[in-house]
Amino acid sequence: MSGHEQLSFLNEVDLAALTIEIEAAAHQPVAKDLATQLREFHGWTIDKLEILRLYLRGGYVRIAGGGTYIDGFAGQGEGEYRGALRDGSAVVAAESDAFRALHLIEQDPTSNARLRDRLEQLAPRLRKRCHLHPASDCNIAIPELLDGGVIDRTKPCFAFLDPNSTELAWTTVERLAAYKTLVPKPDARRRPAECKVELWILFNTHQAIYRLWTGNRTRYPDSMSPATLDHVMGGRDAWWDLWESRQPSVALLQRYVDRLYALGYTYVLPQPIRDPEDGRIHYYMIHATDHPSALGLMRWAKRQTGRIYATELPGIDQF
C-alpha cells in the first residue's frame, strides 16, 4: 500500500462534517498583523508554534540537524499573547539549534525591521546563522534563493510556509519540491539517503478559502476570485472540475494534498490546527516529507498540543 493510500483522510462523512465546521468558523476573528503594532497571537497560533518547537527540538535536530531552514513569512519575530511576549517562528527555529543556516523572508518593511531587532537579542552563535532577506515577496525571494545555489542539496532543508491568507503561490511550492530529489537507500526499509525539501504549509481552509469558494454560483465570477485560486492551487486545471461538480470548499484541501503527492513526496499529512478553547478548526498545516521518521515525529508533536500527552517519542523506524 502506498503512503498516499495509507493517509487518505476525507471520506463522505468526514467531508460533510468538515464543511459544517468551515461554515461555522467562516467569521471567526483572525490575528491582527498591522504594520503599526505588535502582532496579536491567538491560542491556535501558540499551538502551531509549539508544534514547530517540539518538532525541531524533539528529534529533528538529531535526525536531520545541520541543514537549512527557510521561513517564507517570518513575521516580526515575536507576538503578544494574553499580555506576554511570545517568540515567533523565526526565533523558535533559531533557538532550536537544529540548523546551520536560516533564511528568513518577511515582505512588510516594518515587520522586517522588528524581526531584525529581535534577532539581535539572540546569542551570537545563533544570530550569525540567521540571514534576514530584504523585505520582498517570498514568491520572488525563494526562487532567487534557490537559483543562488546557497542551499546545500546534500543536507536537509525544512521550509515553513505560513501565509496569513492566500499569499503563497503554488509555483513557489513547485520550485521548492524540485530543488532536491529523493534518493532511496538500496534497502527500502532503511532511511532515504537524501530527501526533497521538507515542507510545512498553512492551508487556510476555514477563512480565506471558504470566502473564495462562494455558494452563490449564479454570480460567478464576480462573487469569487478565480485568479486567487489559480495562484494558490496552480492554475485553472487544478480546481475547475471541483467547481463544476459543486464540491464544497474543503475539497480543495484534498486536491492540494494530491498535488503535493504528484510533486513526488512520499508522505503528505494534513493536520488541523484548532482553537484550544472551543476546539474549532482554524486552518490546516500540511506536512510534506520523504522521511518516515519525520512523519512520526510531526504526529507526536501535534499530539502534545492536542492535549493528548504521549510519554515518549515514537520509534524512529516504525513508520
Domains of the chain (ranges; CATH) run: 3-26+36-305 (3.40.50.150)
Q: Dihedral angle at the C-alpha atoms of 185, 187, 188, 189, nearest 10 degrees?
A: -110
Do the beta carbons of residue 301 and residue 58 sit within 8 Å? yes
The yes-or-no verdict on residue 270 having pLDDT over 60 is yes
pLDDT confidence of residue 29 = 45
The yes-or-no verdict on residue 64 having pLDDT over 90 is no
Helices (H), 156-283: 170-179, 210-212, 226-233, 240-244, 251-262
Q: What pLDDT band is residue 233 in, cutting at 50, 70 and 90?
A: very high
pLDDT confidence of residue 236 = 93
Which amino acid, residue 135? A
**Lowest-confidence segment of 47-51, 114-118, 185-189, 200-204 by average pLDDT:** 185-189
Q: What pLDDT band is residue 277 in, cutting at 50, 70 and 90?
A: confident
Share of the chain above pLDDT 90, in %: 46
Model pTM greater than 0.85?
A: no
User: What average pLDDT does this structure show over 120-131?
Assistant: 96
The yes-or-no verdict on residue 239 having pLDDT over 90 is yes
Q: What pLDDT band is residue 275 in, cutting at 50, 70 and 90?
A: confident
Q: 3-state class of 290 per DSSP?
A: coil
* Omega before residue 221 within 30° of 0, cis: yes
User: What average pLDDT does this structure show over 17-42?
Assistant: 54
Distance CA 235, CA 173 (A): 13
- Residue whose C-alpha cell is 499551538: 47
**Lowest-confidence segment of 57-61, 153-157, 227-231 by average pLDDT:** 57-61
Do the beta carbons of residue 158 and residue 60 sit within 8 Å? yes
User: Mean pLDDT score of the chain, rounded to an integer?
Assistant: 81
Report CA 270 to chain centroid distance, whole Å: 10
Give the number of other CB atoms < 10 A from CB of residue 271: 18
pLDDT confidence of residue 311 = 34
Distance CA 112, CA 75 (A): 7
pLDDT in tens, 142-187: 999 999 989 998 899 999 999 999 999 999 999 999 999 877 767 6
Closest CA to 231 of 223, 220, 239: 239
Q: Between residues 244 and 144, which one has the greater pLDDT?
A: 144
Sign of CA dihedral 294, 296, 302, 95: negative
pLDDT confidence of residue 147 = 96
pLDDT confidence of residue 3 = 44
Q: Fill in the DSSP letter of residue 98.
A: -
Distance CA 201, CA 283 (A): 10
Q: Between residues 310 and 244, which one has the greater pLDDT?
A: 244
pLDDT confidence of residue 105 = 97
pLDDT confidence of residue 157 = 94
Share of the chain above pLDDT 70, in %: 78
pLDDT confidence of residue 248 = 86
- Residue whose C-alpha cell is 513569512: 73
Q: What pLDDT band is residue 304 in, cutting at 50, 70 and 90?
A: confident
Phi and psi, residue 171, nearest 5°: -60, -30
The yes-or-no verdict on residue 104 having pLDDT over 90 is yes
